Amino acid sequence: MAAAGALGRLCLSSLGRRGGNGTPSSRPRFPPVASTSAPSASSSSASAGDGEKGSRESFVVPGGGGRGSKSLRLDSFLSERLTGRNLSRARIQESVRAGTATVNGRVQVKPAHKLWPGDEVVCVILERPPLDVEPEDIPLDVVYEDATVLVVDKPAGLVVHPAPGNHGGTLVNAVLHHCNLPALRVAELGDGEDDVEGGSRADLMYGNVPVPRPGIVHRLDKGTSGLMVVAKDDLARESLQAQFRERTVEREYLSIVCGELDRGG
């Protein structure tokens, strides 16, 4: 299996198992890239009540129909307005529950609080501290490996990537060890639950230099077992991301059910 254009369409269900752990792994190449993040024009640095810092966002709910108009949920409104920030709904709800949002000058801690046209909304989106991700000697069931990609059979119960409250014991930790990569610092990891496959979930950092995350181009839920493909160089990563984004990857799922299913269920 080769990278870039020669990679062709990936069919996860057709990969044959190789004996042992496949071929010896080569050290993946992840060249540093410049950070492009910058605060929006409506953002400013602020501190939340619990001492954590974040960006202050302020908006006015559009429309002029007053209380006769359709109401909006606070979290839905903020999620829509902050689309360019690549924030998950869970991250916004977390900030609201922490007491960082006000509506017309009054603190609102309920993400479902109803907004009306003309309401003034101010919210501080809390920053999450970076996570240090260490290589861990976690056994991997390697199905296929060459110089550009690694395919592993992820067992149920294994989390794919670190997140707040779950810093270790993940597939990423195992991949770092398997590929002889050093520890990484992960900024803002954990917003990926709403992430579109093939996109970039988080910045990984060598020191203070952000680099792409180590080859993870899709995910499986913690309780789901199955094949995970990991890119080992930039060409493979970009090709695989494009295939997942364009939905040209062929995947098959099996589930165990109990009882009788309705027609079409």
Higher pLDDT, 186 or 247: 247
What integer best gives the mean pLDDT of the chain?
73
Asked if residue 93 belongs to a domain, the reply is yes
What confidence score (pLDDT) does residue 69 get?
60
Q: Are residues 157 and 120 in the same domain?
A: no
Asked if residue 18 has pLDDT above 80, the reply is no
Show which of 91, 126, 161 is a domain's final residue. Answer: 126
What confidence score (pLDDT) does residue 11 get?
55
What confidence score (pLDDT) does residue 195 get?
38
* Domain total of the chain: 2
CATH number reported for the structural domain that contains residue 78 in this entry: 3.10.290.10
Asked if residue 187 has pLDDT above 80, the reply is no
How does residue 32 score in pLDDT terms, banded at 50, 70 and 90?
Answer: very low
Asked if residue 38 has pLDDT above 70, the reply is no
- Asked about 119 being catalytic, the answer comes back as no
Asked if residue 92 belongs to a domain, the reply is yes
Percent of the chain with pLDDT over 90: 33
Q: What is the pLDDT of residues 79-124, one digit of tens each?
A: 999 887 777 788 899 899 999 999 999 999 999 999 999 999 999 9
Asked if residue 188 belongs to a domain, the reply is yes
Asked if residue 8 belongs to a domain, the reply is yes
Q: Are residues 216 and 173 in the same domain?
A: yes
Angle between helices 89-97 and 74-81 (to 10 degrees): 130
Say if CB 210 and CB 32 are below 8 A apart: yes
- The catalytic residue among 221, 233, 234, 262 is 221
